Amino acid sequence: MTPPSAPPGPSVRREVAAAALLLGWRIWVMPLAFLWTDWFAILCAFWIVTALGSRSRAWPVIAGATMGGLFLVYAWRQLPLTWAALGIGP
């Protein structure tokens, strides 16, 4: 195991490059105004943070915040559809 202060190795660089390419593609095909609500873009950014800072003490907080944010995005978009399908609501 490498110490936290060690420079990122080749596998970390490949992971960051792959996630950055996917994130760049998503930015290319999606309007920027909606990017913050796109679960794929959020996961790509989380993938980059995880690859670079998974040994950090802040990582559990970042992971929890990301998962909470993904839940909020899901609930914001999915719950109205679920309520409409069940006949609940106006």
4 occurs within a structural domain: no
Residues 58, 48: Cα–Cα separation, whole Å: 14
- Determine, yes or no, domain membership for 64: yes
Structural domain total, the chain: 1
- Assigned domain for 1 exists: no
Please check whether residue 78 lies inside any domain of the structure. Answer: yes
> What's the pTM?
0.74
Which of 54-63's residues contact partners 24+ apart within 8 Å by CB, and which partners? Answer: 55/4, 56/4
Q: Does residue 59 fall inside a structural domain?
A: yes
**Per-residue pLDDT tens digits for 28-37:** 999 888 888 8
The answer to whether residue 5 sits within a structural domain is no
- The model's pLDDT over 14-73, given as tens digits with 9 standing for 90+, comes to 999 999 999 999 999 998 888 888 889 999 999 999 998 877 888 888 899 999 999 998
State the Rg of the chain over Cα.
17
- Full domain range(s) for residue 63: 10-86
